[in-house]
Structure 1
Amino acid sequence: MKATLERTDLLKSLTHVHRVVERRNTIPILSNVLLRADQGSLKLKATDLDLEVVETVPAMIERPGATTVPAHMIYDIVRKLPEGSQVVLETSSDNATLELRAGRSRFALQMLPETDFPDLTAGTFTHQFTLAGGAIRKLIDTTQFAISTEETRYYLNGIYLHTVSTDQGQMVRAVATDGHRLAQAEVPAPQGAAGMPGIIVPRKTVGEVQKLLEDREAEVTVEISDTKIRITNGPVVLTSKLIDGTFPDYGRVIPQHNDKEMRVDRDEFKEAVDRVSTISSERGRAVKLSMSEGRLVLAVNNPDSGSATEELAVEYDAEPMEIGFNSRYLLDIAAQLTGDTALFRLADSGSPTLVQDNATGDSLFVLMPMRV
């Protein structure tokens, strides 16, 4: 194999594919990236057996062929090469090493045979549709923070994607929850999405998709089956296994009859929560919200370090009430709101609170209260 290509093109592709590779691997071939040179392009592939990323870059191919080399090693080498340099990749005559040349730099990397490299892309996809990169980013960005990290409830370790019928028509909805907070977002369903199975996309896959969708205008092809999802964005193809589990009936935890409404300026609220939570303990992080007509008082009391209060003007005309929340969770939700005003719908100090964006009606958040 012998291929010559621009350092910029190679680095961009290695940046996309090397992230999939775990740094600690008991199976040596999974530490490697597959390089296949053929017909004017170099194809790079990396996998961890659950997630696979493939990217094709233009290259001058003198000798077609394929091999695998350590993914993080070749990424670090190419990253440190001078900008604008041409990179030559050539396998040695004894097929033991891959020589990487750029300017006066020479590297010889140990290889493993490409026949050992696993393939994740077997199987057929039952549904296919196209969405703008920005729409997929919106579903991910709005809900990702609420994905659970608790391994015992593995079915919560991802984003639940499914289609629903609403007053606005057919929508693709994303939901994530960790039992303490829930985030939901939706976008209009494109042609081909109707009847797709409800799927749980794993946390690692969600993070990789988010990084790959740099262009919000790009048309992205999504293919789905009961066990896999494939996302094609230009020269990049990401294939991932799905979480094999049943997502809980999240509709039951979304409050329907919270009759107390509070409207508050989003930025003022976010900054005030951030300020008073400086006092809170790392473990507790509790902030108390005391509401009365036209007024909200945020209070934190930490026996070890002191107390803090801040008062905000709000729209609230129901009976006075107090409720406590984890300040980190409040800040996470506030960061996802796009309008100037946050709308809180409350019932009492022991019931879930609904937070909505006054700008759009296509996302909502549910937050469980804390004792304070």
Structure 2
Amino acid sequence: MKFTVDRAVLLKALAHVQSVVERRNTIPILANVLLEATKDGTLRLTATDMEIAIVEEVVGAAVAQPGKTTAPAATLYEIVRKLPEAAKVELQHPGGDAPLALRAGRFATSLVVLPVEDFPSMTEGKLPTVFSLKAGTLRALIDRTRFAISTEETRYYLNGIYLHAGESDGTPVLRAVATDGHRLARVEEPLPDGAKGMPGVIVPRKTVAELRKLADEAQDEIEIRLSDTKIQFRFGAVALTSKLIDGTFPEYERVIPRGNDKVLRVDKKAFEDAVNRVAAISTERSRPVKLSLDRNHLLLSAASPDQGQAQEELDGEVVRYENGPLEIGFQARYLTDITGLIEGEVEFRFADGSAPTLVQDVAKTDALYVLMPMRV
């Protein structure tokens, strides 16, 4: 194998694929990237950790000799990253156990390779459900749900985003749901063509993170292919394939409150700023903030046995609340995670001080959030 390619083109592709590679693994080949050069000038890079696989095709390489080999992904990326910006990178591998030679200008190095036959394939198998989403739509689905993904490994079935088809007021929708047991996020989009009858799938947390990074560079539509065990996202020259979490997502509709009749509407920025100021009194990770409500009045307060206490009042200029007195507490970070996703006015719907609370953007009802209260 021998080819030459622009440093910038190779670097971009390596940045994508090496991100998937696990730095610490017990299987040496998984630290490598598979490089394939074809006679039509296509360079294909593949990396996998056996849970996720990413394949990226680079066009425009000058291929003198087609072939394939493997190379240490992180090392190759670091070398290419430190080359001069306008460099032309030549990679040559004669085959067998010989090292991979890299040259750029007066710089030369060689890298130990591992057998191509040892490199696992994760992209095989049928993916019968096929539909597309606009890149911006997919980014929004991820951004408005992933904060609620659980990191508790014992509840592995909560370690991802649950993607499935549903109905909203008789209209078919695609739903993305995440929960960690303390909060829940549910976002809806019109059901795309081809998604009807899709299996409900749980996309793992790491896949969500990698997909979100890649989706930043996608401009048009992202094609989604899935079965009940795998999902693949394709756009441009990139294909990201992932195993799905083998588990049953809980019946989340049961925890979405339906009868909460005490409604607070508050300006997002005023509320968010007040929460941050009041919560600063405590260094605890789970800093609780108490909301004390009365007619068109909101008092936020927090206390720390070591630091003291703080409070801030918001009144009728930014607060609308027509019900009787209510006191309820929430973890400060949980509040700001949600309000950070809301653009204008925030609506809270309460039942009482100990029941789940429903939170929505007044202007955009395609997303809803559920928060469990804390004792304060």
- The code of the aligned residue for 1:160 comes to Y
CA distance in structure 2 between the partners assigned to 1:94 and 1:47 by the alignment: 22
CA distance in structure 2 between the partners assigned to 1:289 and 1:328 by the alignment: 14
The match for 1:279 is: 281
Q: Does 1:353 align with 2:365?
A: no
Which structure 2 residues correspond to residues 99-110 of structure 1 after superposition, within 5 A?
99-110=101-112
Deviation at 1:205, TM superposition (A): 0.3
CA distance in structure 1 between the partners assigned to 2:84 and 2:150 by the alignment: 41
Deviation at 1:46, TM superposition (A): 0.3
The match for 2:198 is: 196
- The code of the aligned residue for 1:327 comes to A
- The code of the aligned residue for 2:238 comes to V
Show CA shifts across 1:179-217 (max 9, x none).
000001111111100010000000000001101112464
- The code of the aligned residue for 2:341 comes to Q
The match for 1:208 is: 210
Count of aligned positions: 371
CA distance in structure 1 between the partners assigned to 2:218 and 2:4 by the alignment: 31
Deviation at 1:221, TM superposition (A): 0.6
Query: Contact 1:297–1:311 (CA<8 Å) still a contact in 2?
Result: yes
| Secondary structure in structure 2 of the residue aligned to 1:14 | helix
Show CA shifts across 1:320-339 (max 9, x none).
111000001001111111x3
Query: Contact 1:6–1:84 (CA<8 Å) still a contact in 2?
Result: yes
The match for 1:3 is: 3
Length-normalised TM-score, structure 1? 0.98
Query: Contact 1:137–1:216 (CA<8 Å) still a contact in 2?
Result: no
Identity of counterpart residues, as a percentage? 56
CA distance in structure 1 between the partners assigned to 2:210 and 2:134 by the alignment: 17
Q: Does 1:51 align with 2:49?
A: no
- The code of the aligned residue for 1:20 comes to V
Query: Contact 2:11–2:81 (CA<8 Å) still a contact in 1?
Result: yes
Deviation at 1:94, TM superposition (A): 6.2
Which structure 2 residues correspond to residues 249-264 of structure 1 after superposition, within 5 A?
249-264=251-266
Query: Contact 1:101–1:107 (CA<8 Å) still a contact in 2?
Result: yes
Q: Does 1:132 align with 2:134?
A: yes
135, 149, 152: which one pairs with 1:150?
152
The match for 1:336 is: 341
Which structure 2 residues correspond to residues 285-304 of structure 1 after superposition, within 5 A?
285-304=287-306
CA distance in structure 2 between the partners assigned to 1:19 and 1:111 by the alignment: 19
106, 119, 122: which one pairs with 1:120?
122
CA distance in structure 2 between the partners assigned to 1:216 and 1:273 by the alignment: 35
Deviation at 1:95, TM superposition (A): 4.3
- The code of the aligned residue for 1:113 comes to P
Deviation at 1:281, TM superposition (A): 3.6
The match for 1:91 is: 93
CA distance in structure 2 between the partners assigned to 1:162 and 1:62 by the alignment: 47
CA distance in structure 2 between the partners assigned to 1:279 and 1:197 by the alignment: 47
Query: Contact 1:134–1:215 (CA<8 Å) still a contact in 2?
Result: no
- The code of the aligned residue for 1:363 comes to A
CA distance in structure 1 between the partners assigned to 2:193 and 2:166 by the alignment: 14
Query: Contact 2:47–2:55 (CA<8 Å) still a contact in 1?
Result: yes
Length-normalised TM-score, structure 2? 0.97
| Secondary structure in structure 1 of the residue aligned to 2:311 | strand
- The code of the aligned residue for 2:320 comes to E
Query: Contact 1:92–1:99 (CA<8 Å) still a contact in 2?
Result: no
